[in-house]
Structure 1
Amino acid sequence: MNDTAIKNYCIWARNELIAGVEARMRLYGVAEGAEPAGATAVGGRALSPEETEWRDALLRAGAEEGFARLRDRAAYTWFNRIAAVRYMEVNDFLPSRVRMFTRPAADGSWELGSQAADEALDVQIEGADPVRVAELKQAGEDGPLFRYLFLAQCAELSGCLPGVFQPVDACMALLLPANLMDADGVIGRMVGDIPEEDWERNVQVLGWMYQYYNSEVKDAFFASKAKETPDTIGPATQLFTPDWIVRYMVQNSLGRLWMLNNPASPLRDQMEYYIEPDSEHEDFIRIGGPEDISLCDPACGSGHILVYAFELLAKMYLERGYREREIPGLVLSKNLHGMEIDPRAAQIARLALAMCARGMDRRFFGRGVRADIAVLAPVALGEGDVPRGSALAKRKDLLGALAHLDEVGSLLAPGEGDLAAIREAVALAGDGGLFGSSSRERLRRALDTCETLARRHDCVVANPPYMGSSSFGPFMSRWVKKSYPDSKSDLCTCFIERGFNLAKDRGYAAMITMQSWMFLGSYEKLREKILRSHSISSMAHLGTRAFGAIGGEVVSTTVTVFSNAKNDVDGVYFRLVDMGSEEEKSAGILEALADPGCGWFFRRNSGLFTYIPGSPIAYWASKAMARAFGENLPISTAVSVFLGMTTSDNELFVRCWWEVSESLFTKTANSVDQIRKWAPYNKGGDFRRWFGNQQFVVNWENDGFAIRNNKDGNGRIRSTVPTAVTSLKDCITWSKISSGRIALRYFPRGSLFDVAGACCFGQRKNLCLVMGFLNSSVAMAALSFMSPTLNFEGGQVRSLPLRPLSEEDEEKVVSYVEKQIIAAKADWDSFEQSWGFVRHPLG
């Protein structure tokens, strides 16, 4: 599939369709300040009675939702219809079996042009008036004829695919742009730019087109640093999942469930990413047959995960001897369930699944079966809707979340008490009395939505939205902090938690998420919860560049299959972070499955992670390394580790030592009252071991009065000055931010230190022992899984295990470190950046 061609086309088509719809809106005066409703002419152009009626409807819609939003809605409506009809005509799925956008060419291929218009007198499209078709054909009006047939085709499809093709009313048809079939028109370029083979039995193309259609909107949202709103959160968080990641997740959740129940199934040979389970120890759900299985994607987007799950389920049904034509209806009605806050994406998901079904059953369009994709729309229940004194009236959090379902979506997890409260309210509302039909309808909609959200499934598989808390809107920010306190920093980590109560006990939750939850301290409670009550069945740790469509070092991800049970089994882990593209990562998994000794395949029991402070998912740590944390005392028992100060204005308070007067520079103060004005300032710096990076000074006149009283515009103190900063003792230090390895170096007494140059204080012997250890490859190996982002925090260094040494070995280490300090100091003093410089070594 030519991704670049599809992306370029979709971005262009969106802007072209918007311009085309705008032109139609101008033509018919659909704008603020235009001729009033009921006008029979616009800009000197007479309107038919039907056009006047349709224009009035558009004016009402524009006044209600805004004319820009009406324009964008119309543009997308036609993009969606055109792409769907194109897919169906290429795959011969249109009911008429006649193509709408192409005609046979002389060489046997297909070229731009409408076969339906060419053969209009013989084409059977439900709802098309043969008399009107004949009139247009006889008049030789190809443009109006194509327009009439295309609208009739859309109307027919809305009848046989409800929920996929919503009826296009006449007023929306008024906004169908002109010249679509020109060679440089929207349809013309779709036919010319996207090769026909990209449409052939490749329903994924519809999802890619939806993502690329929204790509400019998404980029603009994140560039603006704006907070999310119900209008932006859907498009901003859409990310189409690469096919191999979908296969990995579905094969190792749905496929795993099937294989545990059917060990001899031939399906095993059709799942290339499947990992053999430890069936002797793993507890799992027992199923009788494929009809018993329920799989949910709680953030289904355009349905890529559901599409592959459909394929795998269909094979299970065939294995059990079901007739092919009955399988699509069973899969869609019994097995697959999706939830989504973006109605456009949900429509694409329904369409994709309908195309899968039509591929197996040529009569599917007439069977009245629709995919179970729930669009989670807000249900605003006001005081007049909720019976006074009812249990529901007291559940303010539930009512707030229901009113903001287009933001919180499937993260809302209603419990039995919530369901009982809504059912009580529905019963109290009754069929009459004080409550009108609209109140009853809203209460029943709330109940239907919450029952959907409360269902549990055998498998939950998702690529949930990625959005950091800094982008949350006001309601979302408050609600997430209260509802998901252990995972509140990003939507994708909230979905990890949600997956556990969406999945049945002993079921599976498979998700691709940011890797941050594996290591960061802000997710420590989430990790503890996972390791205490659940199991990691497998993980493909992808790192960056897993999504070729977005490229670059954009986001670091991991694919995890969780078991919703505490199993005493070893999980399987693939370390793919050093592989440079999604193709390499995909191939890396296949190679590891064929050769577990490849170097990036690991088996680990998740209980091992609890030995390490903070419980990072450090699967590549050896068992000996992990147990070293439990068997040895931490570094903090030998030295005291402190973070430094933040001046909040280094440009004002910090200089290089050669920029200040030597008479005001105190190099080796024993107490703060000895500091004249400038004192040595340790603020990290480049990679350098043992000694060095002593070029900065800080204004500490009058015990740092200016820094301690550095205030913002509201009078709040901006700086932070921990007490340890002014101890002025000799210490060892490292740069908090590194490009690779940690580097410890010695600082003599008299220095203050910055938050970027954390310090350890203690006896000289202990400082040498700790510095020797921290500059070793063993310490770096431990830090690599405690701080994979290469930000070396004080808490991480403080908790590293320090193995006790014999007195003889201690003396050897101390002697070695002292020699390294002397050598490094001599090297540092050989250059003019050192205040101890005397002469260049080559001078």
Structure 2
Amino acid sequence: MQPLEKTLRSRLEKTVKEARDVAESAALAALNQLGVGQAKPDGHFSEEEKALRRRLRVHGRQLGDRRDPKGEQEISRLIEEVAYEHWHRMLFARFLAENNLLMYPDPDDPVAITLEECEDLAADEGAANGWELAARYAARMLPQIFRLDSPVFQLTLPPEHQQKLEHLVTDLPLEVFTASDSLGWVYQFWQAKKKDEVNKSEVKIGARELPAVTQLFTEPYMVSFLLDNALGAWWAARRLTEADLKNASSEEELRNKASLPGVPLEYLRFVQIEDDAGDTQWQPAAGAFDAWPEQLGDLKTLDPCCGSGHFLVAAFLMLVPMRMELEGLSAHEAVDAVLRENLHGLEIDQRCVELAAFALALTAWKYPNLPSPSGRGVGGEGAIGYRPLPELNLACSGLSVSVAKEEWKQLGLGKKNLTIALDWM
């Protein structure tokens, strides 16, 4: 896949920024309609509306909105949550649909479905519209991302705002949804306004502000350079023979010999060294990483600030063909093995964790099912397609403990030292 072209990136940036303004205005209007910030519900509310209002207030407090002694409650964090979830539900559904990965949940034979077909089926399936139905189908595929049990999805946005959001997402060109780095840009653009506000305010950076001001998208060439000269150098040191390293006439010759289809190692650098006898030999400029495991199944990679998963996806696209080549695995087997054993990510922003999971799943389902150079693996062209994936090793490291102290201490199971440690924490 190719990175997003600059003019399309600018168009995506403009669309996402506009979408955040529209979505937050819609969220404010919908929450005010239910009186979520008020101390008491209006008398004309139905029991269903009162129940939804209570759930939204509880959810807001879980997000950090404060309730004062009189019962009135902030809704600023809840507004952000509603806006984000409703917009990204539509955006992610189109990502899946444009890659033929939005699946109609036939128990025997799931089949790809378009957004237009979702609109046609919505009424029969009991959904308000095609976007809601698309999100319902997507939730079956990635339940950790599309949390339809959240009360924010029971909230209906005003029609005029909903229509604006629909137009914004449908007007984006197809190329946006097939580029390799679009997901990363999507969240950076979403956070851009918040980042500017925080920087201009000169307030002390706290937990709420940190994700916005620390988001920094790494350009594809930077990711490739770092991985080529780490994982790629490890691979080259084991794939190239001593004769290759002694007799090669250029770095390009060594890169060509070390590369695999889909893993060109174009940024891998070599240097020439001279031994005691005065003979020269090439070696990877970054070294051979001799302390790393000899078997790729034992290699653990961790991105401690994984963001939207850009490094993880790039490492995945290198490791899968490497494991197919070294271990004789099929594409299916290699994809599962890499997700299960090799890739790990941490991130302080829960939304980034969800984006990283979405990006990895999308890449895994789209992975080309091609044979390895040695002839091993499954032959034939095309993508693997949708199927259940191993549990992804991704976690949010920025969540606060939100239980009562005594409940937290019970995790000590009566063991004195552990209980004391939990009490201190």
TM-score, scaled relative to structure 2: 0.74
Asked whether the 8 Å contact 2:22–2:161 carries over to 1, the reply is no
Is it true that 1:99 corresponds to 2:114 in the alignment? yes
| Partner in structure 2 of residue 275 of structure 1 | 269
1:369 aligns to what SS in structure 2?
coil
Q: Give the Cα separation in 1 of the matches to 2:143 and 2:408.
A: 32
- C-alpha displacement at 1:217, in angstroms? 0.6
Calculate percent identity across the aligned residue pairs.
24
Is it true that 1:155 corresponds to 2:136 in the alignment? yes
Asked whether the 8 Å contact 2:313–2:363 carries over to 1, the reply is yes
Is it true that 1:167 corresponds to 2:175 in the alignment? no
Q: What one-letter code is carried by the residue in structure 2 that aligns with 1:218? A: K
- C-alpha displacement at 1:60, in angstroms? 3.1
| Partner in structure 2 of residue 70 of structure 1 | 78
| Partner in structure 1 of residue 174 of structure 2 | 196
Is it true that 1:294 corresponds to 2:273 in the alignment? no
Among 178, 190, 211, the residue aligned to 2:159: 178
Q: Give the Cα separation in 2 of the matches to 1:120 and 1:33.
A: 36
Output one character per residue of 1:716-762: Cα deviation in whole Å (capped at 9) or x when no partner: xxxxxxxxxxxxxxxxxxxxxxxxxxxxxxxxxxxxxxxxxxxxxxx
Asked whether the 8 Å contact 2:56–2:151 carries over to 1, the reply is no
- C-alpha displacement at 1:311, in angstroms? 0.8
2:346 aligns to what SS in structure 1?
strand
| Partner in structure 2 of residue 116 of structure 1 | 118
| Partner in structure 1 of residue 91 of structure 2 | 83
Q: What one-letter code is carried by the residue in structure 2 that aligns with 1:324? A: A
- Mapping for residues 186-265 of structure 1, pairs under 5 Å: 186-192=165-171, 194-200=172-178, 202-263=179-240, 265=258
Output one character per residue of 1:41-97: Cα deviation in whole Å (capped at 9) or x when no partner: 24xxxx3x4333212211333456231111111111122222211100110101122
Change (3 A) 1:176 1:365: farther
| Partner in structure 2 of residue 369 of structure 1 | 390
Matched residues, number:
355
Q: Give the Cα separation in 2 of the matches to 1:337 and 1:354.
A: 14
Change (3 A) 1:227 1:175: farther
Deviating runs (4+, > 6 A) in structure 1? 361-364, 380-383
Asked whether the 8 Å contact 2:93–2:131 carries over to 1, the reply is no
Asked whether the 8 Å contact 2:34–2:53 carries over to 1, the reply is yes
| Partner in structure 2 of residue 316 of structure 1 | 322
- C-alpha displacement at 1:234, in angstroms? 1.0
- C-alpha displacement at 1:303, in angstroms? 1.0
Q: Give the Cα separation in 2 of the matches to 1:327 and 1:229.
A: 41
Is it true that 1:378 corresponds to 2:372 in the alignment? no
Q: Give the Cα separation in 1 of the matches to 2:416 and 2:301.
A: 41
Higher Cα Rg, which structure: 1
Q: What one-letter code is carried by the residue in structure 2 that aligns with 1:267? A: L
Asked whether the 8 Å contact 2:259–2:265 carries over to 1, the reply is no
Q: Give the Cα separation in 2 of the matches to 1:241 and 1:331.
A: 22
Q: Give the Cα separation in 1 of the matches to 2:403 and 2:60.
A: 25
1:241 aligns to what SS in structure 2?
coil
Q: What one-letter code is carried by the residue in structure 1 that aligns with 2:119? A: A
| Partner in structure 1 of residue 33 of structure 2 | 27
Q: Give the Cα separation in 2 of the matches to 1:120 and 1:14.
A: 26
- C-alpha displacement at 1:380, in angstroms? 8.0
2:209 aligns to what SS in structure 1?
helix
Q: Give the Cα separation in 1 of the matches to 2:113 and 2:289.
A: 52
Aligned residues: CA RMSD: 3.3
| Partner in structure 1 of residue 366 of structure 2 | 359
1:296 aligns to what SS in structure 2?
strand
Q: What one-letter code is carried by the residue in structure 2 that aligns with 1:155? A: R
- C-alpha displacement at 1:259, in angstroms? 1.4
1:246 aligns to what SS in structure 2?
helix
Higher strand proportion (structure 1 or 2): 1
Q: What one-letter code is carried by the residue in structure 1 that aligns with 2:315? A: A
Change (3 A) 1:306 1:286: closer
Asked whether the 8 Å contact 1:260–1:284 carries over to 2, the reply is no
Output one character per residue of 1:392-433: Cα deviation in whole Å (capped at 9) or x when no partner: xxxxxxxxxxxxxxxxxxxxxxxxxxxxxxxxx96xx32x69
Q: Give the Cα separation in 2 of the matches to 1:190 and 1:171.
A: 20
- C-alpha displacement at 1:8, in angstroms? 0.7
Among 43, 51, 54, the residue aligned to 1:53: 51
- C-alpha displacement at 1:367, in angstroms? 2.4
Q: Give the Cα separation in 1 of the matches to 2:319 and 2:101.
A: 22
Q: Give the Cα separation in 2 of the matches to 1:286 and 1:368.
A: 27
Change (3 A) 1:99 1:340: same
Change (3 A) 1:343 1:289: same
- C-alpha displacement at 1:173, in angstroms? 2.2
- C-alpha displacement at 1:282, in angstroms? 5.2
Q: Give the Cα separation in 2 of the matches to 1:366 and 1:329.
A: 11
Q: Give the Cα separation in 2 of the matches to 1:116 and 1:326.
A: 32
Asked whether the 8 Å contact 2:228–2:265 carries over to 1, the reply is yes
Asked whether the 8 Å contact 1:151–1:173 carries over to 2, the reply is no
Q: Give the Cα separation in 2 of the matches to 1:60 and 1:282.
A: 54
For structure 1, list consecutive stretches of 5 or more residues without a partner in the other structure: 101-113, 122-129, 134-143, 388-424, 447-843
Q: What one-letter code is carried by the residue in structure 2 that aligns with 1:52? A: K
Change (3 A) 1:11 1:35: same
Change (3 A) 1:371 1:234: same
Q: Give the Cα separation in 1 of the matches to 2:226 and 2:310.
A: 12
Q: Give the Cα separation in 1 of the matches to 2:184 and 2:227.
A: 18
2:159 aligns to what SS in structure 1?
coil
TM-score, scaled relative to structure 1: 0.39
Asked whether the 8 Å contact 2:85–2:152 carries over to 1, the reply is no
- C-alpha displacement at 1:379, in angstroms? 4.3
Q: What one-letter code is carried by the residue in structure 1 that aligns with 2:323? A: Y
- C-alpha displacement at 1:286, in angstroms? 5.0
Asked whether the 8 Å contact 1:21–1:75 carries over to 2, the reply is yes
Is it true that 1:266 corresponds to 2:243 in the alignment? no
Q: Give the Cα separation in 2 of the matches to 1:70 and 1:381.
A: 20
Output one character per residue of 1:206-246: Cα deviation in whole Å (capped at 9) or x when no partner: 11010000001111111222211000111111011111111
Is it true that 1:332 corresponds to 2:345 in the alignment? no
Q: Give the Cα separation in 1 of the matches to 2:313 and 2:389.
A: 19
Output one character per residue of 1:112-159: Cα deviation in whole Å (capped at 9) or x when no partner: xx33222558xxxxxxxx5x64xxxxxxxxxx741xx53343234333
Change (3 A) 1:84 1:386: closer
Change (3 A) 1:176 1:311: farther
- C-alpha displacement at 1:6, in angstroms? 0.8
Change (3 A) 1:282 1:153: closer
Q: Give the Cα separation in 2 of the matches to 1:235 and 1:187.
A: 25
Q: Give the Cα separation in 2 of the matches to 1:31 and 1:286.
A: 55
| Partner in structure 1 of residue 275 of structure 2 | none
Q: Give the Cα separation in 1 of the matches to 2:152 and 2:350.
A: 21
Higher RCO, 1 vs 2 (CA within 8 Å, ≥6 residues apart):
2
- C-alpha displacement at 1:283, in angstroms? 5.5
Q: Give the Cα separation in 2 of the matches to 1:309 and 1:233.
A: 26
Output one character per residue of 1:644-676: Cα deviation in whole Å (capped at 9) or x when no partner: xxxxxxxxxxxxxxxxxxxxxxxxxxxxxxxxx
Q: Give the Cα separation in 2 of the matches to 1:283 and 1:68.
A: 49
